[in-house]
Amino acid sequence: MLEIVSEMVFCLVMALLLGFSIGFLLAESLYGVGEKPIFGDKSSDFDASESLEKSKKIEKLEKRCSEKNRLLKECQDESRNIKEELLKRIDTLEKRRASLEEKRDRECRELDEKLSELTKRLKKKEIELREFETVLVKAEKTIDTLKRGDDI
């Protein structure tokens, strides 16, 4: 029985050592990804080069950010200018449309007035024509009666 207990204790100690070593190795490998070291400090040269590298990366990112901000501002300015130009053109087109509509309405009124005047003149001429036809009919009757009177 003592032998079984001693084997169990030995296995537990070995499992504990194995787990510790696996955990340590995993922690060390994760340190390379960018996390802080869990066990012990690295050399100061490595920290200095790492901080220099980080500052270079930060500087690069700041330059990219400032360039993107500059491009964004340029695009916004260009967009604003295009919008102003478009609004000016729209205003000009609306004024032109209004003037063309006014001109069209004026010409329509003039044509309506001319049409009504011509219609009135046509009616007068029709009345004059009927009067003239009645005078001609009377004249023909008179001529016919005179011819009959001469024939008799």
Domain ranges of the chain: 66-142
Q: What is the mean pLDDT of each run of 10 residues along the chain (152 residues)?
A: 88 92 86 55 66 89 94 94 96 96 96 96 96 93 87 59
Q: Please tell me the predicted confidence (pLDDT) of residue 27.
A: 84
Distances in Å between the alpha carbon of 34 and those of 28, 31, 40?
11, 6, 16
Q: Residue 14 and residue 8: Cα distance in Å, rounded?
A: 10
CA distance 130 to 93: 54
Is the pTM higher than 0.85?
A: no
Q: What stretches of 32-43 show up as alpha helix (H) in DSSP?
A: none
Q: Decide if 39 contacts 27 (C-beta within 8 A).
A: yes
